[in-house]
Amino acid sequence: MFKSLYNKVLSWAEHPRANKFLLALSFAESSFFPIPPDVMLAPMCLAKPSRGFYFALLTTLGSVAGGVFGYLIGMYSFELVEPLISSMKYEGEFELVKRWFDEWGFWAIFIAGFSPVPYKLFTITAGMLSMLFLPFVIASIIGRGARFFLVAFLVSLGGDCLRDKLNNYIERIGWMVTLVLVTGFLIYKFY
């Protein structure tokens, strides 16, 4: 099951329009979409290790552009987005992001590049709190760029060897991840 899914994802990563899909996913994730671009960036770097840094650059550009869109949403349309934050159960994370902005300002955006808290909450909050635009963009470029270039670098280190090893062990890895997720969900739900 996981092996066919793995091979399907790699074939999508080699699709002629994969760059455009990566750019669009990166843009969307920074402002409104819940799936991070790493799920496409990593397979693309696996499929074409020599182009990993190019893919990281595309991901960074799309993410920063989406971040600017998220900033504008926060600045001009927060009232429309606030119910979505509640419906997606992001209230706690949203409050955390606001505290980080109070404490660290510029550095909150930089840290957001590596945080498990969805980046879109940082971009929308930056706009809502009227963070200075240029520092927001600079911190986004540095933070998001560092994350995506690190992903590309680590995946490209493995190259074809990593691709082959993943192909050999993907079933075990897939079932282990599924088990961890189900266990985590059950623990969260009942405790």
Read off the pLDDT of residues 77-100 as tens digits, 9 standing for 90 and up: 888 888 877 887 778 888 888 888
pLDDT at 66: 95
pLDDT at 44: 85
Cα separations in angstroms, 68 against 27, 34, 72: 9, 17, 6
pLDDT at 160: 64
pLDDT at 169: 58
d(CA 129, CA 98): 9
pLDDT at 68: 96
Nearest to 98 by CA among 85, 84, 80, 83: 85
Query: What are the structural domain ranges in the chain?
Result: 2-160
pLDDT at 151: 86
In this prediction, the residues of the chain whose per-residue pLDDT falls under 70 are 1-12, 116, 159-175, 177, 181, 185, 188
Residue 99's CB is within 10 A of a number of other CB atoms, namely 11
Tens-place pLDDT, residues 117-129? 788 888 988 998 8
